[in-house]
Amino acid sequence: MNHVKTINSAVLKESACKGGCGECQTSCQSACKTSCTVANQKCENKK
Amino acid sequence: MVHTYKQGGYNIAVDVNSGAVHALDDAAYRVLELIPSKPVDDICPQSIIDKLKDVLDADSCKNAYRELFSLAKDGLLFADDDYIDVNRAFPENPPLKALCLHISHDCNLRCKYCFASTGDFGTGRKLMTPEIAKAAIDFVIARSQNRRNIEIDFFGGEPLMAMDSVKQAVEYAKEQGKIHNKNFRFTITTNGLALNQEYIDYINSEMSNVVLSLDGRPEVNDEMRKTVSGDGSYEYIVPKFKKLIDSRDKSLDYYVRGTFTRDNLDFTEDVLHIADLGFDQLSVEPVTAEEGCLYALQDCDKEKIFAEYEKLAEIMKERRDFNFFHFMVDLEQGPCVIKRIRGCGAGYEYAAVTPEGDVYPCHQFVGKEEYRMGNVCDDTFDKKISDEFMGYNICTRESCKKCWAKFYCSGGCSAANLNMNGNLEDSYELGCELERKRLECAIMLKVHDALNA
């Protein structure tokens, strides 16, 4: 493509198939305790 | 839904439902802004060509449109959210998997902005006994179902004031973890004042994460974070934090975490100060304060805060010797969409336990009697409150449904909503706006990295 550079693909849709194991860290336990951000948490599903 | 914005010299498009991110040239950016919904074919409407005729020739318009159509066809632009099964995110009886243990409702600092009312959450100074701490471990194991990873955050007040209970809880959790096939991970959040070599060694051997509270520049930190006698705490804590991090295994997590208020809206200086001290995992966050409070953030501060986040992001285009928590976003393999719908899990996946053993939806609800969910000693956990918290999420909150950032922030903070709006459901708008700005910065940095790799 000449006009658009895709930085990353449809990761959310792909994650719907294998996701939901619930083993990842609870967001407020990592550092924030006051301001929610979930998208910076690590996925722990190695499948 | 597509969110477009310009930052750092880049034209960026975030496709909300697919999670795809694109960098566009000026032609594609202008064309995309004029496409209201998923295009049905690759022929650029004449209305778009006409609207852009003064800035873009027809061929460029058509070519850009064709590329955008191709992305839409491939599910990378204007994607639908029909693949999302909300029921998977909210099962009938969700497992509890994380506890914030208020091991100490006492504190050796008197921080002016403390949402815990200088440590005791307005409930009287108290330490959690080892027996209550062990009952909390039993409580979470019994409700964790098939979850293997269980997180315990030793919180306060100041948890170092109750180290005997911390140690006994850790020992007991590890022992019970073996019996029940659970992997306990411990975090401790400390102001650092009582750190000594023994505690440093213990934390570095047992805690997979440690959160160290420091607001930044000495004068900023000391204005808010004072000792009982009214001195600033900076000179006492910084050498201890350095000692802790110097001897900490690099594979283990830590954050130096600060708070900014209305008094230091130039908080980039504080972030850089902490980084210059040699700490590389940083979080500096907006204060939680009631409206009317002198240091509380106000709507009129918004533009200044936005500019400050942008300034920090510009600096971080070049400087990467530290991570800034709120600019961390994993575009390749972050949390799954189910986790992103679930959000913080307060009240059902995550709960806080007081020194008395009382259970609350999260640390910020402690002391609000109407939200007391039960007690770890009599093994009670009010499902009605749990269900109420599960009922508020990005699929039900009206402001979230239409927000481009919903899969990144995952619905925000119920406690902030309650504090600022008086109810759990209505989003705290200033908090949302700051979150969106931080995400724009975070995504811009990812685009910058990708295009300059």
Sequence-distant (6+) residues with CB within 8 A of B272 are B315
CA distance B372 to chain A (A): 19
Contact A30 B79 (CB under 8 A): no
Q: Is the pLDDT of residue B271 over 90?
A: yes
**Distance, CA of B281 to CA of B325 (rounded, Å):** 7
For B21, the closest of A7, A22, A44 (CB atoms) is A7
Q: Is the pLDDT of residue B204 over 90?
A: yes
Contact A9 B76 (CB under 8 A): yes
What pLDDT, on a 0 to 100 scale, did the predictor assign at position A31?
62
Give the pLDDT band of residue A20 (cuts 50, 70, 90): confident
Answer whether A47 touches B (CB < 8 Å): no
- Judge if the upstream peptide bond of residue B157 is cis by omega within 30 degrees of 0: yes
**Distance, CA of B98 to CA of B141 (rounded, Å):** 10
Residues 329-368 of B with CB under 8 A from A: 329-340, 343-346, 349-350, 362-364
Sequence-distant (6+) residues with CB within 8 A of B46 are none
User: A–B: how many Cβ contacts below 8 A?
Assistant: 230
- CA angle, B83 then B88 then B92, to 5°: 150
Contact A39 B407 (CB under 8 A): yes
Partners of A45 on chain B (C-beta within 8 Å) are: 336
Note the maximum CA span of chain A.
Answer: 43
Q: pLDDT for B150-164, tens place per residue?
A: 999 999 999 999 999
Q: Could you tell me which residues are beta bridge partners of residue B285?
A: B259
Buried b (16+ CB within 10 A) or exposed e, B224-249: bbbbeeeebbbebbbebbeebbeebe
What pLDDT, on a 0 to 100 scale, did the predictor assign at position B342?
87
Mutual orientation of helices B268-276 and B302-318 as an angle, nearest 10°? 30
User: Which CA distances in Å does B67 have to A10, B24, B200?
Assistant: 16, 10, 56
Q: What is the mean pLDDT of residues B236-244?
A: 98
Q: What is the mean pLDDT of residues A4-27?
A: 88
Give the pLDDT band of residue A46 (cuts 50, 70, 90): low
What number of other Cβ atoms are within 10 A of residue B203's Cβ?
Answer: 26
Partners of A36 on chain B (C-beta within 8 Å) are: 343-344, 409-413, 435
User: Are the beta carbons of B107 and B118 closer than 8 angstroms?
Assistant: yes
Q: pLDDT for B273-311, tens place per residue?
A: 999 999 999 999 999 887 788 999 999 999 999 999 999
Of B110-124, B133-147, B341-355, which range is least confident?
B110-124
What number of other Cβ atoms are within 10 A of residue B88's Cβ?
Answer: 15
For B450, the closest of A7, A37, A40 (CB atoms) is A7
What pLDDT, on a 0 to 100 scale, did the predictor assign at position A29?
67
Q: What is the mean pLDDT of residues B18-38?
A: 97
pLDDT over 70 percentage in chain B: 100
ipTM of the prediction: 0.91
Q: Is the pLDDT of residue B202 over 90?
A: yes
H-helix segments, B294-344: 302-318, 337-342
Q: Is the pLDDT of residue B256 over 80?
A: yes
Backbone dihedral angles phi then psi of residue B183, each to the nearest 5 degrees: -105, 100
Answer whether B447 touches A (CB < 8 Å): yes
Q: Is the pLDDT of residue B87 over 90?
A: no
Q: What is the mean pLDDT of residues A1-15?
A: 91
Give the pLDDT band of residue A10 (cuts 50, 70, 90): confident
SS3 content of chain A, % helix, strand, coil (to 5): 25, 10, 65
Contact A19 B259 (CB under 8 A): no
Partners of B211 on chain A (C-beta within 8 Å) are: 31, 33
Total residues belonging to chain B: 453
CA distance B228 to chain A (A): 24
Answer whether B372 touches A (CB < 8 Å): no
Sequence-distant (6+) residues with CB within 8 A of B250 are none
Contact B259 A34 (CB under 8 A): yes
Give the pLDDT band of residue B401 (cuts 50, 70, 90): very high
**Distance, CA of B188 to CA of B256 (rounded, Å):** 12
What pLDDT, on a 0 to 100 scale, did the predictor assign at position A35?
60
What pTM value is reported for the model? Answer: 0.95
**Distance, CA of B150 to CA of A22 (rounded, Å):** 10
Nearest residue to B266 (alpha-carbon basis) of B293, B298, B301 = B301
Could you tell me the two tokens for B69?
């159509």
Q: What is the mean pLDDT of residues B36-54?
A: 97
User: Are the beta carbons of B42 and B66 closer than 8 angstroms?
Assistant: yes
